[in-house]
Amino acid sequence: MHLVNHMLLKDALFLVAGAVMLQGHATMLDELGGLGRRMPFTFGVFLLSGLSLAGMPPLNGFASKWLIYVAAFQSGHWALGAAAMISSLFTLAAIMRFAHAGFMGAPTAKALAAKEAPLAMLIPMGALAAGSVITGLFPGLLLVPIAAIESDLGFPLVAASLLGPLPGLEGWSPLALTALSLLFAALLAPWLWLGRKAGIVRNPVYLCGVSDIAPEETRAASERLYETPEAILRRALFAPEPAEGEKV
């Protein structure tokens, strides 16, 4: 199931990257910014696929990761289960960093010249995203065929039904969790609407009195994404800090 989820999610993300490169004419992340308003559909597919890849419930990526976590802990492999959960946090950090650097913030010159990708690129992205949503709501669509394969191979069967919840005592229903999430959003919507009618106050970036910095220069460079993980690994391995200007 995790292999199929990765096929759907990473293929969608590769198509998003291709659309961004084609429409933004950029090859480096730092050349992008503010693409969300120029390419809203592409941004939506990126967020859906990225958050699912990071294991955000109730998306399909979390369903298969949940089964992996449960299997690791039940079999006594606590370190592997914890490592899998921690890696999901790093994936989430990378996805949100890319979302901010590429689609949010102040637009760059290349972003201002971009527009939404053509239909020939949007339709495959949309189809993969739809497949992710459907298999997220109904994991049995993947687990039942997997159970048939396991039966042919002589493995114990996964107790799953086409429209039922995830298997096992620790299983949960993605459809029910999604319904609860939508109900919560519906209850929250009136308050968000009232806040929107009150107006949005946009404050300028505080530049400590400096006035000759372009808006795109106030964005954090993409390489800073790795500063915290690198510092943790250096401390864990007792490695010296890099010299000024040294490539890491």
Sorted by sequence, the CB contacts under 8 Å of residue 28 that are 6+ apart come out as 222
Q: What is the pLDDT of residue 169?
A: 61
Q: What is the pLDDT of residue 179?
A: 85
Among 144, 126, 15, 4, smallest CA distance to 60 is for 4
CB atoms within 10 A of CB 158: 20
Q: What is the pLDDT of residue 118?
A: 92
Q: What is the pLDDT of residue 198?
A: 66
Q: What is the pLDDT of residue 76?
A: 92
Q: What is the pLDDT of residue 79?
A: 93
Q: What is the pLDDT of residue 215?
A: 65
- Exposure of 143 by Cβ count < 10 A (0-12 exposed, 13-18 middle, 19+ buried)? buried
Among 34, 12, 10, smallest CA distance to 23 is for 34
Q: What is the pLDDT of residue 247?
A: 56
The per-residue pLDDT string of the chain (248 residues; one tens digit each, 9 = 90 and over) reads 999 999 999 999 999 999 998 888 887 877 888 888 899 999 999 999 999 999 888 788 988 998 899 889 989 999 999 999 999 988 998 898 888 888 887 788 888 888 899 999 999 999 999 999 999 889 889 999 988 898 888 888 788 888 888 887 667 788 888 888 888 888 888 877 776 666 667 777 777 877 777 766 666 666 666 677 777 888 888 888 777 656 55
Euclidean distance between CA atoms 63 and 136, whole angstroms: 7
Among 133, 132, 140, smallest CA distance to 182 is for 133
This prediction's pTM: 0.79
